[in-house]
Amino acid sequence: MAHSGNRNSSPPRKRSCEVADILREHITEYQETYPLHPHQYKIVSDLITCRTAYLGGRIEECDHCGAERITYNSCRNRHCPTCQNIPRERWLEARKAELVPVSYFHTVFTLPHECNPIILRNKETMLTILFHAVAKTLLSFGRNPRNGLGGHVGFIAILHTWDQKLNAHFHLHCLIPGGAMIEGGKQWKPCKKNYLFNEEALGLVFRGTFIEYMTAAYRSGTLHFPGILAPYRKPQKFSELMGRLYSHKWVVSVREPINRPEYVLEYLGRYTHRVALSNQRIVAVENGMVTFTYRDRNINRIRQHTIAAVEFIRRFLLHALPHGFVRIRHFGFLANRYKTEHLATLRSLIGRVRGMHEPAEHTLREMMKLLTGIDVTMCPYCKNGTMRVIGQIPRYTGLGAKQIMQGFIAERAVA
């Protein structure tokens, strides 16, 4: 809806291409080659209708000049690149209350790519095993006094499923306060000389623990082997696979410690609430091809990668998580059940540092102002008034994700 009157307004800035645009233009072509699974229909439907009339919205009017505008609702799907900034900032704000004045270690546990086909067809089971194997490994290393601590460690684990080119690459980022609670929580024992645990030893235990859990899932009939995976239904073939996995060196990387607690949130912000590819990385979409940027870690430079739009969608949907699957989890003394009690005890043992902040409750207006420097309630036309809601636009109801997606695409084709 155009604003009322003859007031001048600057023309809207040209919007760069987004993941949603690629889905809108090429999802029908994608479906000619690949099936869309039920949970993928929901993701695609949310992304292509994000901030459109399908999701409803509100009509706003300036209380100074009377200009009107329509603002449509966001989909809030966790796979949507457009909808992650606010959830990420709110989550980080809540984590401020959990910071402790110690060094933090960033540790990454990576699964061999030979696991990828089985993971992609057993996501919930296999990714749960990944979390459990990493947790058991780190907690056991913390309890072992020969590793320098001999106590109860805590950490946040964040699942990532992609590499820079959107291929499957399953790994956990763990942020670990450098120390352990010992003697039943009566004492804090810090890590010495910026050292956490030995990488190779972590890799060996992680490998053995993961394969143990995976074998148990196989024996219980929890794992499924459709299509090309059918040979693994036979115990001999599955045992051969386990043997090959044992022959790999499993990669665990312990990065340099973060020594200043105020930097921890900034560090967390790089990894939480990320999707496989942000809209900012898309360079061009033309002639059925998508070009996006990636970091070539071999030379530490940003380069461009071009693939067919259908292949882009295939890779993007590789990273769709099962409905309700939790990809950020807390373990040890940071586990949600006892976190408040443990953190209070920990602060009484080691104290707090000056400059650490308590979390603040920000309104959406305040959050957007902090993130963008823009007051979203200011009238974009006269720059003096405030936009007030004068009406609501209902969202489409009574339709499933598949019907909404098909209807949206059909409307675009007619237009």
DSSP symbols for 32-90:
TTSPPPHHHHHHHHHHHHTTSGGG-EEEEEETTT--EEEEEPP---TT-GGG-HHHHHH
Residue 101 burial class via C-beta count within 10 angstroms: exposed 0-12, middle 13-18, buried 19 and up: middle
Q: Could you tell me which residues come within 8 angstroms of residue 176 by beta carbon, excluding any fewer than 6 positions away? A: 104, 105, 106, 107, 138, 153, 154, 155, 196
3-state secondary structure of 287: coil
CA dihedral 400, 406, 408, 413 (to 10 degrees): -170
State the greatest distance between any 2 C-alpha atoms of the chain, in Å, as a whole number: 78
Sheet of 301-308, strand order: 282-286, 289-296, 301-308
Question: What number of CA atoms fall less than 13 Å from residue 282's CA on the CB side?
Answer: 23
CA pseudo-torsion sign 253, 255, 261, 264: negative
pLDDT at 161: 95
Q: Which helix H or strand E contains 41, and what residues bound it?
A: helix 38-49
The single-letter code of the amino acid at 259 is N
Q: Distance between alpha carbon 120 and the CA centroid of its chain, in Å?
A: 17
pLDDT at 372: 58
What pLDDT is recorded for position 7? 38
Residues constituting the chain: 415
pLDDT given at position 166: 95
Question: Token digits for 384?
Answer: 């003096």
pTM of the model: 0.87
**Residue 316: other Cβ atoms inside 10 A:** 25
CA dist., res. 185 & res. 338, Å (int)? 12
What pLDDT shows up at residue 360?
A: 56
The span from the CA of 44 to the CA of 79, in Å, is 9
Tokens found for residue 173: 């980022």
Using alpha carbons, select from 277, 275, 314, 247 the residue that is nearest to residue 112.
247
Strand, helix or coil for residue 158 = strand
Contact present, 71 and 391 (Cβ < 8 Å)? no
| Per-residue pLDDT tens listing for the chain (415 residues) | 333 333 333 333 445 789 999 999 999 999 999 999 888 999 999 999 999 988 999 999 999 999 999 999 999 999 998 888 777 777 777 777 778 888 899 999 999 999 999 999 999 999 999 999 999 999 999 999 998 899 999 999 999 999 999 999 999 999 999 999 998 878 999 998 788 999 999 999 999 999 999 999 999 999 999 999 999 999 999 999 999 999 999 999 998 888 776 677 777 777 777 788 889 999 999 999 999 999 998 888 999 999 999 999 999 999 999 989 999 999 999 998 888 888 888 888 886 543 344 555 666 555 555 555 678 889 989 999 999 999 999 988 777 777 777 777 777 666 6
Tell me how crowded residue 385 is: count the other CB atoms within 10 A of its CB: 17
Residue 3's pLDDT is what? 37
